[in-house]
């Protein structure tokens, strides 16, 4: 070993000091003053010197990485217990908390509080002895946690040494290690690519990254720190939370992004509102705000109730996620035969609503997330959409969980099951599958479809099971006496349903098309169809190409519509419905389509620059019953050519298609000119 001179020592010390400062600028203040390359050069230089002279300072940045993997995480007894927090779910509950504090303190004056975001991460205790990071431990059960020092050293925002401030003999600093949302998403994408299970949320990702035996894994995860609390301290005294936070900042510790000192519940609520408003811009996930009595003397008087201090509370934002167990998974058959796995959950309250069911979408999703019956899962509810399983908490597995395979046959009718073109969805091919038929009828009668009041899910079920309604047409054959014989009907309800059915016979084409439950045809597509077809009969035997020509109509819908209207059984059903008195008006049919239709059956292609905008010319053609198509083919009847026409004109000439000018087109619409 080369002996180390005072000069070299000084150089090493200077390098360590400088690098630590730049680390602080970068990871805590988020405002670096040197480039990454410059940092790397200095870092390598330090590493070389350390190796050559075997002189390594405890706070050297080289000490953050490279610890050998552990066999297990050692237990750590916390000097002061790490407490949990009571919750407040409304501003009123925040006011009650303040009232409780004042009652307890018998205080006539307003109490001072600090308010800061509640970070959704992993609580950590950092113990410093004489200013040097001695140990980092997890909260554990509050009394005993796990030693994660080597892992936490890799978190660049954690100071290895207290600098720029008074140094206590020993201090326990508490804070939250967390992962930014973006980083969490990137990490999950990577894990999914590698076929590993995704983390349920940034908190689980942070916890999984810290509670590692191999610190090189922790080092790869970009973890952050926010310090907000104090445990035991020797050799120094702090009078208040605010004073402590000021010291933390000076000593280069990262503190919460927002932290304010206010008086009384009104002050507290105004900061909560500020945090709520800024929450969406936070790079991290905050699940609430933490309110603490500022004065440590008052905190002492208030003391602890079981495991929660009386001097603090957490205001919780309405939750979007909850953790629960999958009791069962069933294969549910939908209206179009699609088989969807649905999870039945141990009921859990999420944001004020009890959730007991969750769609699992399809088997690809089950496989990707490795969801099994008996699993503990994180469920998310966003707005009014059906809750979904975000991820499985693999660590909760007992080995008793069961996989749920796709069914070989329809669980309702026993028909064959087919995989969709995309290979993702399974579909029951049974045309008379009771599950499908019941739902088709339910859809037909629903509010945005035929709007038959009184024909909801339960009654459809009943009428179906009694064999009274097995098809749309059967609805119109129902008699009041049929209904009166059923348990769910009395004189009035039976009459109401009969009246509603009668009323539904007057309908519009758009509604009717939607009601038929044609695959892929939602309300909007139904309206588009109605706008382009004069009446139902015009749709009979329609070809896919004719529908694709309608703007916004895609191939999938077009194919499905054409398939439906070329099936003789379907056409028979439609005729039956009409014979039962259905009157279908079509107010959506485009006015331009009415009146003379000299271009009926003709296809036009427009090319080159015309005196009018292209969409106007197209509208003119369509208004006369013609079709405006984008490409020239043998089926093209006319090419309307303007100036600078190119390849389409050549192709039309080659195919011998009639070529006309815009003026000739206009003349044709007036019945002048020639109709070829």
SS3 623: helix
Pick from 62, 84, 356, 359 the residue near ligand IVH by CB under 6 A: 84
The footprint of ligand IVH on this chain (CB under 6 A) covers a number of residues equal to: 16
Does residue 97 interact with ligand IVH by CB under 6 A? no
239 assigned to active site: no
Distance between CA atoms of 640 and 662, rounded to whole angstroms?
A: 6
Contact 619/606 with Cβ under 8 angstroms?
no
Distance of CA 132 to CAs 162, 217, 329, 600, 651, Å?
A: 6, 24, 53, 88, 82
Catalytic residue selected from 52, 75, 118, 300: 118
Distance between CA atoms of 202 and 215, rounded to whole angstroms?
A: 19
Minimum CB separation from ligand IVH for residue 158, in Å? Answer: 16
Selection from 322, 338, 314 nearest residue 116 by Cα = 314
Site string for ligand IVH, 43-82 (x = CB under 6 A): ----------------------------------------
Question: Environment class of residue 258 by beta-carbon count within 10 Å: exposed (0-12), middle (13-18) or buried (19+)?
Answer: middle
Q: Which residue is nearest to ligand IVH (CB)?
A: 123
Q: Taking CB under 6 A as the criterion, which residues in 175-214 touch ligand IVH?
A: 176
Contact 242/260 with Cβ under 8 angstroms?
no
Distance between CA atoms of 74 and 129, rounded to whole angstroms?
A: 19
Does residue 530 interact with ligand IVH by CB under 6 A? no
Q: For ligand IVH, which is the closer residue by CB, 309 or 374?
A: 309
Selection from 67, 115, 555, 558 nearest residue 293 by Cα = 115
Minimum CB separation from ligand IVH for residue 256, in Å? Answer: 5
Contact 618/606 with Cβ under 8 angstroms?
yes
Task: With residue 179 as reference, give the H or E element that holds it.
Answer: strand 170-179
Does residue 229 interact with ligand IVH by CB under 6 A? yes
Site string for ligand IVH, 299-318 (x = CB under 6 A): ----------x--x-x----
Distance between CA atoms of 211 and 187, rounded to whole angstroms?
A: 16
Q: For ligand IVH, which is the closer residue by CB, 168 or 229?
A: 229
Instruction: Collect all residues with Cβ–Cβ distance below 8 Å to 194 and sequence separation of at least 6.
Output: none
Does residue 85 interact with ligand IVH by CB under 6 A? yes
Centre a 10 Å sphere on the Cβ of residue 321 and count the other Cβ atoms it contains: 20
Minimum CB separation from ligand IVH for residue 226, in Å? Answer: 7
Minimum CB separation from ligand IVH for residue 116, in Å? Answer: 5
Site string for ligand IVH, 242-261 (x = CB under 6 A): --------------x-----
Does residue 472 interact with ligand IVH by CB under 6 A? no
Q: For ligand IVH, which is the closer residue by CB, 73 or 275?
A: 275
Site string for ligand IVH, 111-150 (x = CB under 6 A): -----x-xx---x---------------x-----------
Residues present in the chain in total: 676
Tell me the longest C-alpha to C-alpha distance in the chain: 108
Residues that bind ligand IVH (CB under 6 A): 83-85, 116, 118-119, 123, 139, 176, 228-229, 256, 290, 309, 312, 314
Active-site amino acid positions: 118
């Amino acid at each position: 070993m080369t002996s180390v001179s005072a000069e070299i020592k000084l150089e090493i010390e200077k390098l360590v000091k400088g690098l630590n400062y730049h680390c602080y600028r970068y990871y805590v203040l988020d405002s670096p003053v040197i480039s990454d390359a410059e940092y790397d050069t200095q870092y390598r230089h330090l590493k070389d010197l350390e190796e050559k002279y075997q002189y390594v300072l405890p706070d050297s940045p080289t000490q953050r990485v490279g610890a050998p993997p552990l066999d297990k995480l050692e237990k750590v007894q916390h000097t002061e217990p790490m407490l949990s927090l009571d919750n407040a779910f409304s501003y009123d509950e925040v006011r009650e908390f303040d009232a409780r504090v004042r009652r307890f303190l018998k205080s006539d004056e307003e109490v001072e509080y600090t308010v800061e975001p509640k970070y959704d991460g992993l609580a950590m205790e950092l113990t410093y002895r004489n200013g040097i990071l001695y140990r980092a431990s997890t909260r554990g059960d509050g009394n005993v946690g796990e030693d994660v020092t080597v892992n936490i050293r890799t978190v660049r925002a954690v100071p290895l040494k207290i600098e720029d401030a008074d140094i206590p003999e020993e201090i326990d600093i508490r804070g939250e290690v967390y992962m930014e949302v973006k980083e969490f998403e990137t990490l999950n994408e990577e894990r999914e690519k590698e076929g590993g299970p995704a983390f349920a949320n940034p908190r689980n990702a942070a916890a999984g990254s810290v509670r590692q035996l191999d610190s090189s894994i922790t080092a790869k995860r970009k973890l952050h720190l926010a310090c907000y609390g104090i445990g035991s301290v020797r050799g120094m005294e702090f009078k208040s939370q605010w004073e402590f936070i000021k010291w933390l900042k000076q000593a280069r510790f990262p503190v919460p992004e927002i932290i304010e000192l206010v008086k009384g519940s009104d002050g507290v609520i105004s900061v909560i509102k500020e945090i709520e408003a800024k929450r969406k811009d936070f790079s991290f996930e905050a699940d609430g705000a933490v309110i603490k009595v500022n004065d440590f003397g008052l905190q002492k008087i208030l003391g602890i109730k079981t495991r929660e201090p009386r001097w603090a509370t957490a205001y919780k934002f309405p939750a979007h996620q909850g953790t629960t167990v999958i009791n069962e998974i069933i294969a549910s058959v939908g209206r179009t035969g699609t088989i969807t796995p649905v999870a039945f959950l141990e009921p859990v309250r999420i944001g004020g609503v009890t959730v007991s069911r969750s769609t699992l979408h399809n088997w690809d999703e089950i496989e990707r997330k490795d969801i099994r019956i008996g699993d503990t899962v994180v469920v998310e509810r966003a707005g009014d959409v059906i809750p979904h399983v975000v991820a499985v908490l693999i660590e909760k597995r007992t080995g008793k969980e069961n996989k749920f395979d796709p069914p070989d046959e329809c669980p309702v009718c026993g028909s064959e099951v087919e995989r969709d073109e995309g290979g993702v969805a399974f579909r029951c091919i049974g045309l008379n599958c009771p599950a499908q038929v019941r739902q088709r009828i339910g859809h037909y009668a629903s509010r945005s479809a035929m709007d038959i009041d009184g024909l909801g899910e339960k009654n459809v079920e009943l009428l179906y099971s009694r064999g009274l309604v097995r098809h749309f047409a059967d609805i119109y054959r129902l008699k009041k006496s049929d209904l009166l014989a059923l348990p769910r009907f009395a004189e009035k309800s039976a009459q109401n349903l009969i009246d509603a059915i009668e009323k539904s016979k007057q309908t519009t084409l758009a509604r009717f098309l939607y009601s038929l439950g044609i695959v892929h045809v939602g309300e909007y597509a139904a309206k588009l169809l109605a706008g382009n077809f004069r009446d139902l009969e015009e749709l009979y035997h329609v070809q896919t190409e004719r529908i694709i020509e309608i703007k916004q109509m895609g191939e999938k819908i077009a194919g499905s519509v054409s398939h439906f209207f070329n099936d003789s059984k379907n056409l028979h059903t439609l005729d039956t419905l009409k014979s039962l008195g259905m009157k279908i008006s079509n107010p959506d049919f485009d006015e331009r389509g009415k009146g003379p239709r000299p271009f009926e059956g003709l296809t036009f292609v427009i090319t080159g620059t015309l005196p009018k905008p292209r969409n106007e010319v197209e509208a003119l053609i369509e208004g006369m019953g013609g079709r405006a198509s984008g490409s020239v083919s043998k089926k093209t009847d006319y090419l309307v050519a303007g100036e600078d026409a190119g390849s389409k004109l050549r192709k039309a000439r080659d195919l011998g298609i009639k070529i006309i000018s815009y003026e000739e087109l206009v003349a044709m619409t007036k019945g002048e000119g020639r109709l070829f």
